[in-house]
Structure 1
Amino acid sequence: MDHQQVVRDVTVRLPMASTTPEACRWTVTALSRHTSATISVLIEVHDRLRCIAATGAWQVFATVPARTGIVGRVYATGATAVVPDVTVDPDYLPVRPDVTAELCVPVTDPTGRTIGVLDLQWTDPVDLAPWREIAQRLATRLGARITALGGPPAESRSEKLLRHAAALSSAPTEGDVLGVATCAAREVSTLSTAVLLIADAGEVRIGPAPLNPNGLETRIRAELTEAEPAALARMIERAHRYGAGYTLGEAGHPPTEDYQPLTRAGVRTLVAVPVGPPDAGGVLLVADERSLRPDPTTVSLMELLAGQAWTTLDRLRTLARLREQASSDPLTGLRHTGPFGQRIAAATPGRTALLAIDVDGFKTVNDTYGHQAGDQVLVGLARALEGALRHGDELYRIGGDEFVAVIEVSRPEEAVRIAERLTEAARRVGRTISVGVALPRPGESPDRTLHRADQALYAVKRQGRDGVQLSAA
């Protein structure tokens, strides 16, 4: 084989390529005339290697993480990989079952920076030494042409949306979801600003601000913060009633009243997309202070993004509800034994007090009036006891009519006073309670502390109920 002819056949076409994909395709096509190898060119796009051109493979990886496989290793290190036996290389990415050897060389720009790789894989015996020299020379020429054409291809809008969708699906908190969604909206739409309005428990919240908001973003947030809640609700209601909408970037057409806060902020271009259901969702506002003309494809991409964001947000909220249900009493809403065990395990000796609480005569209520009446008593008493505790004190229901309060105090007398406040609160709703108080001691197990509080409670019961007793031992 005339190796010089191989180089000439490839390089003669490169100057005629008008785009980076075209330069890569011509390189692969010309090179394939001289070898049966599977050939591919992968170029960096964002944080991955994208296959721009390939031939001879049953399946081609569309994108590869920057450090995955032999191609990722070569891209990361900038060093050529000559692999005469792929079966002994742990980084080999299989594209067909009969590949025996692989040659991968970095594609570099004129400064020497690696911008991609040229990869060749053979199924027949091959002398890799001359092919190494050929591939390196071609990769150098290809890198120079790509640079002359403006560098690696830009990430397409669909690729951006896919990348952000992956980030959305793994976002751990609601704030992260909203942040990723607005960042994605800006990148995919190419408009400068994105803000999310989310309805939450009857109120409208503005999504988190980016780390470095631009001037328009700052003005929009200021206007939305000053706007009446009803105005924000109207923006959400409009999007859900009529669907996604966008401006045409034409002068002389005044906005509707609903969008006056945005126009006062300087918005001249707007895409408004509903998010989630009308009663619990919101609206994604993507804006720019330039008069632009968003196309329907942009709006469709924003709708896809809004749908993905809401799916993730709804999943996180569902998981939060399930965790709350798993850790709380469904009747009173108080936390129960699981969280209580975790809390007292972290109690500070001499500073944390346990107040064991029992409802006096509760069995009589159930036996006389039925369990529904008993449930009403427990709910009302739980609210009364919660109202008598201080901010930061915690109340748990650990049995049928048994409650425990965990409070932080500076001395035992303070714990007793708070217990007496609880008995007074119970009397105000027509019930009485018996309360035993105990403070954890150094080295004492949580169960032992609770046992001492229970013993103090039983002492109150023996003395006639409706009182407080501090554990003495």
Structure 2
Amino acid sequence: MDLQRVIRDVTVRLPMASTAVEACQDTVTALARHAPATISVLLQVHDRLRCVAATGSWQVFATVPPKAGIVGRVYASGRTAVVADVADDPDYLPIRPDVTAEVCVPVLDPAGRPIGVLDLQWCAPADLDAWRDVAERLAARLGARIVALGGPPAESRSEKLLRHAAALTGAPTEWDLLTAAIAAARDVSTLAAAVLILADRDTPRLGGPTAVPGELESRIRAELTEAGPAALGRMIGRAHRNGAGYTLGEAGHPPTADHAPLARAGVRTLVAVPVGPPDGGGLLLVADERLLRPDPTTVNLIELLAGQAWSALDLLRTVARLREQASSDPLTGLRHTGPFGQRIAAATPGRTALLAIDVDGFKTVNDTYGHQAGDRVLVGLARALEGALRHGDELYRIGGDEFVAVIEVSRPDEAVRIAERLAEAARRTGRTISVGVALPRSGESPEVTLRRADQALYQVKRQGRDGVRLAPA
């Protein structure tokens, strides 16, 4: 094989390429005439290596994470890899069953920074050292040409949308999701600002981060806040009735009354897309101070993004609701045994008081008036006891008519005073309760502390009920 001829054939074609992708395709095509190998060029596009030219295989990887496979290793290190037997290399990414050897070289810019890789894989014996030299020389010429043509290809809008959709799906909290949706809307549209309006519980509000980058976004949020929930509701209703809208970028035409706050904020270009269902969704606004005309494709991409954001948001809320249901008593809404066990496991000796609470005469209510009446008593008592506790105190239902309050106190008598306040709150509902109070001893398990509180409670029962007793320290 005349390797110098291989280099000449590729070198002659490179100056005729008008784009980076064309330069890569010409390189692969010219190489394929001389090398019976699977050949590909992968360039960095955003946070992945994208295959921009390939030949000699039934299938290739469209994109590869920066450190995945031999190609990712070469890109990350900037050093050539010559693999005589791919079966011995755990990083090999199989693309055809008969590959035996691989030569992968970094494509470097003139400053020596990797911008991609040139990869050759053989299914027959080859002089790997000679091909390494050829590949490195061609990669250097290819890298220089790519830089001269403006660098690797930019991430397409569809690639951006796919990347942001994955980020939305993986957002762990509603806050993270809304933040990601706003960033995605800016990136995909290339406009300067994005704002979400959510129609939560019929009271529209601005969603997402309040500490936003960009002066325009801050002005939009300020104007919409000043306009008030009613104006936000009209904007949401308009979008859900009539669909997505965008400005034509024509000067001299006044905005509608609904859009007046945006005009006051300095908006001259606007895409407005409905989010979610009409009865509980919202509106995504993407805007700019420049006088532009968004094309329909941009609007379509923003609509796809809004749909993905709402699906992810609805899923997060559904999971949160199911988690709450799983950890809450369905009758009173109080947390129950599972969360209580976690809470008392973190009790601080001498400071975390447990108040064991039992409703006096509750069995009589059930036997005389029925379980529905008993349920009403429990719900009323739960609300009364919650109202008597301080901010940060916690109330749990751990049995039929058994409750436990977990409170932080500085002294035992403070815990007793709060217990007496609970007893008084119960009396105002027409019922009475017995309360046993215990503070954890050093080295004592939470279960033993609760048992001591129960023992104090039963002493109150034996002494006539409707009272409070502190367990001995």
Residue aligned with 1:44, SS: strand
Amino acid at match of 1:252: G
CA distance in 2, matches of 1:472, 1:143: 81
Give identity over the alignment, percent: 81
Per mean C-alpha deviation after superposition, the further-off stretch among 405-414 and 146-155 is 405-414
CA distance in 2, matches of 1:207, 1:153: 34
Q: Which residue matches 1:157?
A: 157
Give 1:293 deviation, angstroms. 0.7
Q: Which residue matches 2:118?
A: 118
Task: Write out per-residue CA displacement over residues 153-179 of structure 1, whole angstroms, 9 at most, x where no aligned residue.
Answer: 000000011111111111111111111
TM norm structure 1: 0.98
Residue aligned with 1:179, SS: helix
Q: Which residue matches 1:147?
A: 147
Q: Which residue matches 1:78?
A: 78
Q: Which residue matches 1:337?
A: 337
Give 1:208 deviation, angstroms. 2.9
Q: Which residue matches 1:395?
A: 395
Residue aligned with 2:199, SS: strand
Q: Is the 8 A contact 2:212 2:218 kept in 1?
A: no
Residue aligned with 1:13, SS: helix
Amino acid at match of 1:469: R
Q: Which residue matches 2:353?
A: 353
Give 1:180 deviation, angstroms. 0.8
Task: Write out per-residue CA displacement over residues 315-372 of structure 1, whole angstroms, 9 at most, x where no aligned residue.
Answer: 1111111111111100000011111111111111111111111111111111111111
CA distance in 2, matches of 1:444, 1:200: 46
Task: Write out per-residue CA displacement over residues 101-148 of structure 1, whole angstroms, 9 at most, x where no aligned residue.
Answer: 111111111111111111111101111122111111111111111111
Give 1:427 deviation, angstroms. 1.1
Residue aligned with 2:204, SS: strand
Q: Which residue matches 1:458?
A: 458
Residue aligned with 1:12, SS: helix
Give 1:210 deviation, angstroms. 7.5
Task: Write out per-residue CA displacement over residues 45-73 of structure 1, whole angstroms, 9 at most, x where no aligned residue.
Answer: 11111101000111110011111111111
Amino acid at match of 1:184: A
CA distance in 2, matches of 1:415, 1:80: 71
CA 272–287 in structure 1, closer or farther in 2 if over 3 Å, else same: same
Task: Write out per-residue CA displacement over residues 391-442 of structure 1, whole angstroms, 9 at most, x where no aligned residue.
Answer: 1111110000111111111111111111111111111111111111111111
CA distance in 2, matches of 1:194, 1:400: 50
CA 365–263 in structure 1, closer or farther in 2 if over 3 Å, else same: same
Instruction: Give the alignment's Cα RMSD to 1 decimal.
Output: 1.2
Q: Which residue matches 2:137?
A: 137
Q: Which residue matches 1:10?
A: 10
Q: Which residue matches 2:30?
A: 30
CA distance in 1, matches of 2:211, 2:233: 26
CA distance in 2, matches of 1:328, 1:261: 43
Amino acid at match of 1:401: D
Give 1:211 deviation, angstroms. 6.0
Residue aligned with 1:34, SS: coil
Amino acid at match of 1:218: S
Give 1:451 deviation, angstroms. 1.1
CA distance in 2, matches of 1:243, 1:54: 42
CA 211–146 in structure 1, closer or farther in 2 if over 3 Å, else same: farther
Q: Which residue matches 1:225?
A: 225
Task: Write out per-residue CA displacement over residues 194-252 of structure 1, whole angstroms, 9 at most, x where no aligned residue.
Answer: 11112223333323337661111111111122221111111222222221111111112
Residue aligned with 1:115, SS: strand
TM norm structure 2: 0.98
Paired residues in the alignment total 473
Residue aligned with 1:197, SS: strand
Amino acid at match of 2:294: P
Q: Which residue matches 2:243?
A: 243
Q: Which residue matches 1:192?
A: 192
Runs of 4+ in structure 1 off by over 4 angstroms are none
CA distance in 1, matches of 2:219, 2:383: 43
CA distance in 2, matches of 1:353, 1:460: 18
**Structure 2 unaligned spans of 5+:** none
Q: Is the 8 A contact 1:179 1:210 kept in 2?
A: no
Residue aligned with 1:395, SS: strand
